[in-house]
Structure 1
Amino acid sequence: FFVRLKLRRAEGVGTLSRTDILSSFFPSVICIILVMKIRRASHSNSWYTGDVRELDSQLSTWLDNASFAHGPAKAIISPHAGYSYSGPCAAHAFKNINPETVDRIFILGPSHHLYLNNSCALTVADYLETPFYNLKVDSEICKILKKSGEFVDLKLSDDENEHSLEMQMPYVAKVMENRAEAFTVVPILVGSLSFERERVYGEILAPYLQDPRTLFVISSDFCHWGNRFRYTYYDEKHGEIWQSIKNLDKMGMDSIETMNPHAFDAYMKNYRNTICGCHPIGVLLHAIDTLHNTQQGLSFSLKFVQYAQSNKCHSERDSSVSYASASVVTN
């Protein structure tokens, strides 16, 4: 814009009219706007309300009903179903976050629709829309991660089709509302990874987990039980089906609490539990394990703070999804 003004003056034009100024200025503004990519809150008004007041009231109520049980969190595990199902459970994870200690938030979630073969994808968006305000993507960190050669670009359309990352965003915005301009996010869509590839990504992300001002949010539901999920494991010795599911999930949660990636991997291979975020969880466990093995002086504690089921299954015709919230702290 200012270059254009100088050119007009150099051409012998003295005073510029209002029309001249506007015609020079607005195309420049439009160009700036066009290069900004915003990921739409595509699941708003379906998976959760898009009404700001109603959403704020819901999240505030759920957070008020949760307790600061294991914090301040360095990482959390949070469910990603519709808020009417998993919102209250998720609050127990987010309650353990101290926003004053957070400058950057990594959000890792599983890919439900896009096939990512042994890889992870980074958003191409500059901002992530939420009903509250837009979350700023840490583009510099994304560039650094991309240079590792281990990440692919996530097309905006594929990004908006996925819900696992988006369902964490309104909660992030709510918890961080007093520091809305002071933090950035790094959303990572995690594909179907082998144990070895989980280790690779854990090692890449370990230095960020070590950063005292960085938080990790791991998005995962637990057991998806029923014929529609093609998973009907039932151990009758634990009582009714829903009680068997609870015990199955509890074994998985216990293995995660050990923070030993081998223990969780063995559990998954043994029971094939339909924990959709098993790979993001695996990446987190490998990141923790990497820091333990490199003797960085960090000691972690992982604790599950809430568990719920969408429905109590009594017969094989029933179905349910389990939700669990956890918090990781440094000792």
Structure 2
Amino acid sequence: MSRALWTDRPGPVTRPPAVAGMFYPADPGELAAWIDGALNRAAAMPVPEGVDPGRVRALVVPHAGYVYSGQTAARGYDLLRRRDPDRRPRRVAVLGPTHRVGIRGLALPRADFMATPLGSCPIDPAGLEELAQVRINAATHAEEHSIEVQVPFIQRILGDLPIVPLAVGQAEPQEVAEVIESLVADPQTLIVISSDLSHYHPHDVARRLDDQTIARVLAGDDSIEPDRACGCRPLDGLLHAAPGLGWSAHLLAACTSGDTAGDRSRVVGYASFAFTEEDR
């Protein structure tokens, strides 16, 4: 993927924050304090049995406003903070669904950097150059929140390290799996899948549906439907790739917006998972 495909103008291009002040605080100090508080609360919880933070190769975390799902996301990101500094990833690929501009396949932004109030991360698509399902599409990234809300957590723990922001549209599990496999050929690349679960059911109904979806994720079912997880395309790709990579799924936390800051009559479900590399 040549530099000419990244931008049609000279000089570096930055994708600016689109949802700061809406999904998360726009003030850098307030944002850092919010994330630190969420991570500290997560650190007070025990790590689930069988989860070695040093073996985590992928996370699945929600992408709603922080007041709703940020604490659930923090349960995943806490595992990164628990790692020895010399074993932390050097690059993070974030795969999230498209909410505003639909696409076929997967898309990188037409940018060299992705900014949040905490700084700017360079975009590094190494490993994707030969994959036909990956293209450049500025429009689908322009106002998309599913990837952006993950970046401040990454920055707060790992700094402004290289990231691979990939919007995932209509794509088969094997197409997404091929992208993931290409990315993690670099063992210092972490995968983050951005997905919420069910939408707009009463709390008790949502928990029942989400429990079913959670069981399917843990069983490796790569046919999760859009009404069960809005990020089902990237999630199904991860589930398709995981067996061949020797990765196992572990549930970290689950809740609904009714548990955090919302009306229980119409909720959105959230969960976080870790995928760990097992001995072969």
Pick the aligned partner of 1:107 from 94, 98, 101: 94
Mean alpha-carbon deviation: is it higher for 204-213 or for 277-286?
A: 204-213
**1:215 to 2:195 alignment:** no
- Aligned in 2, Cα 1:151/1:208: closer, same or farther, shift over 3 Å? closer
- Aligned in 2, Cα 1:259/1:209: closer, same or farther, shift over 3 Å? farther
Q: Which residue of 1 aligns with 2:116?
A: 130
- Aligned in 2, Cα 1:290/1:203: closer, same or farther, shift over 3 Å? farther
Q: Which residue of 2 aligns with 1:45?
A: 21
Question: Please, which runs of 5 or more residues in structure 2 have no aligned partner?
Answer: 1-8
Q: How many residues align?
A: 256
Q: Which residue of 2 aligns with 1:82?
A: 65
- Aligned 1:256-295 pairs, distance under 5 A: 256-261=217-222, 265=223, 268=225, 273-291=227-245
- Aligned in 2, Cα 1:164/1:93: closer, same or farther, shift over 3 Å? same
SS at match of 1:106: strand
**C-alpha displacement at 1:210, in angstroms?**
4.6
TM-score (norm 2): 0.84
- The answer as to whether partners of 2:15 and 2:115 remain within 8 angstroms in 1 is yes
SS at match of 2:258: coil
**C-alpha displacement at 1:129, in angstroms?**
0.4
Q: Which residue of 2 aligns with 1:26?
A: none
Pick the aligned partner of 2:214 from 253, 262, 268: 253
Q: Take 1:54 and 1:129, find their aligned partners in 2: how far apart are those partners?
A: 16
Pick the aligned partner of 1:191 from 169, 172, 182: 169
Question: Please, which runs of 5 or more residues in structure 1 have no aligned partner?
Answer: 1-32, 227-240, 292-298
Mean alpha-carbon deviation: is it higher for 56-65 or for 203-212?
A: 203-212
Pick the aligned partner of 1:164 from 112, 125, 146: 146
Structure with the largest fraction of helix: 1
The one-letter code sitting in structure 1 at the alignment partner of 2:23 is W
The one-letter code sitting in structure 2 at the alignment partner of 1:80 is H
Pick the aligned partner of 1:224 from 199, 217, 224: 199
- Aligned in 2, Cα 1:146/1:114: closer, same or farther, shift over 3 Å? farther
Q: Which residue of 2 aligns with 1:93?
A: 76
- The answer as to whether partners of 1:107 and 1:216 remain within 8 angstroms in 2 is yes
The one-letter code sitting in structure 2 at the alignment partner of 1:243 is D
- Aligned in 2, Cα 1:187/1:91: closer, same or farther, shift over 3 Å? same
Structure with the largest fraction of strand: 2
> Would you identify which runs of 4 or more consecutive aligned residues in structure 1 move more than 6 Å?
none
Larger radius of gyration: 1
Pick the aligned partner of 2:37 from 61, 64, 80: 61
The one-letter code sitting in structure 2 at the alignment partner of 1:136 is P
After superposition, give the CA deviation of every residue in 1:33-77 in whole Å (9 maximum; x if it has no partner).
952110001111121111111111111111011146232321101
Q: Take 1:207 and 1:127, find their aligned partners in 2: how far apart are those partners?
A: 21
